[in-house]
Chain A
């Protein structure tokens, strides 16, 4: 009772007591798995070994797994394909999102309804989007039907075209998020400044590039960093639409890790790759945000 009263009077101790549950929770869901991952990544352990994971030190590998990443073409291939998706999907989403946001600054009849419709794709479960586009891109599916292509014109099983379908699906689903973030940024540009620029004789295009765009820098950086990081982890779409195929043509880093984990049970190796990807992504995000902070100051 006395101890409790003591804590009650000490605001700092009380504060610590209140955040303790969250800290314990975080230790279990973030800190512990992270260290477990680091630990496994320096061993040769797989669940097939017959020893529990915490005894993985018996098969310690130190940095061997990381060295193996460097010469593993499968990792680099998956990374390259992931980058390819990011490289095409994110800029397309950005440009479409920006264009749509620009259309939505002005009021027009039905704006609110269009706005709601625009945001729907973002709300759909990615696996369902995968399924939708899987059906759309069938040889006898609506896409071929509409553009008048023969039913043996395959998208999902074609080496060159499968990637396009993944990018299209990702663009469809995530352009709305880009649109939402960019629109909020665009609405943040004071309207009277845009009017002032117009009155000074600037065309809409000039005013867009000289007034609106520079003022949106911060928001643009956030939107792109967010999408690059998210897109880098793309899994559901290609897992459902192509299973990473044909062959490994649409196998991204996430799909590759999934196959490695549940197909080959190379858990230590997966841990090492996962950690590497985490570090790379963290660096990208940190760089982006640092740039943003610099702009703000």
Chain B
């Protein structure tokens, strides 16, 4: 178990800056997901923790020790590659024993550990077979087992589930969580799949274009996004974002979209502070989960009238895509009875939406 501390870490590839001034603290035994779209610098960040890349500037401390002069071999890190990097010319047994062999364990304890790990990962029946003959699912287990067997201080996983089929991915998600509890290691997990990040991680670090945008527990990030990017990236189904401008006022403010839909709501403290300014370019964000479909208006909520255009079924849930003026707004049909072309009233509370500045995407309220 170890803590990881990134201080003002930047990484340049020629003129391209992949990671920008990253500050990140990962506590002992924490499971942290680095989440972001492709090319956001998450894999580069993880490679720097592993020692596969060197930061252009800044420091990475593991257990308060600067890692810049520590060789990859001596970092005591477990790394599961996206494509597993299994030694396909060796047997499953030899793959599992590799780390122990090179570290000079004696034969008996190697055998003991390999047997236990194979049992743990349920690949015991495959031990004598060439690793090249394994299925993708088994390769995944082998990759995790091979890294876990040397009992690393830190476990790094680079999109380990992205090649798996859907059902096995769900199984591996819970398996990973179990493993982490068992081993108690600090885990860093890179993914672009927010569901994976939300369900596995203790904390999520959301990155975009090389910068850390928000860092916190999954629910915090979901309920309290600090920016338009985070609100859009986290959450499924995606948040409804309407662009327009805000007219702040001392009692009641209003938001007018680019397509002239006006939404009024009581001003809170922050809006009152803004009330002197003129109209402000902004976006409003409402999560589909926070919108209720109703037949009558609610006094204390914000009401929008519209017509259901499409009903979409996602698993057990039904999504209603409602046309309000010229906007399409998605909400969850809790009742399960809404039908296409039905005229409905969408209600949501004034506390349940977010406002983001158009200028920098930061959260206003």
Contact = CB atoms under 8 A, between A and B. Distances in A.
B142 to A, nearest CB: 11
26 contacts: A190-B85, A192-B81, A193-B86, A193-B87, A195-B81, A195-B85, A196-B81, A197-B87, A197-B98, A199-B73, A199-B75, A199-B78, A199-B79, A200-B98, A200-B146, A201-B73, A201-B74, A201-B99, A201-B102, A202-B73, A202-B102, A203-B73, A203-B102, A206-B102, A207-B102, A210-B101
Contact of A200 (B52, B83, B89, B150): B150
A198 interface: yes
Contacts of A206: 102
Interface string B94-116: 00001101110000000000000
Contacts of A233: none
A190 B150 CA distance: 22
Interface in A179-210: 190, 192-193, 195-203, 206-207, 210
A106 to B, nearest CB: 13
Given A197-B87, A201-B103, A203-B102, 6 more contacts: A196-B85, A199-B78, A199-B147, A200-B99, A200-B150, A201-B74
- Chain B contact-residue range equals 20 to 34
A259 interface: no
B83 A192 contact: yes
B98 A202 contact: yes
A214 B73 contact: no
Contacts of B78: 199
Interface of B: 50, 52, 72-79, 81, 83, 85-87, 89-90, 98-99, 101-103, 146-147, 150
A216 to B, nearest CB: 10
A193 B72 CA distance: 14
A37 to B, nearest CB: 43
B49 to A, nearest CB: 11
Interface residues of A, number: 18
B85 A198 contact: no
Contacts, number: 58
Most buried by A among B72, B78, B103: B72
A215 B103 CA distance: 21
A199 B147 CA distance: 9
A195 B50 CA distance: 10
A222 interface: no
A214 B95 CA distance: 14
B87 A198 contact: no
Interface in A209-261: 210-211, 214-215
Nearest to B94: A210
B13 to A, nearest CB: 13
Nearest to B74: A201
Interface string A52-69: 000000000000000000
Contacts of B81: 192, 195-196
A190 to B, nearest CB: 7
Nearest to B80: A196
A47 B228 CA distance: 95
A188 to B, nearest CB: 12
Nearest to A202: B102
Nearest to A206: B102
A211 B90 CA distance: 9
A199 B49 CA distance: 12
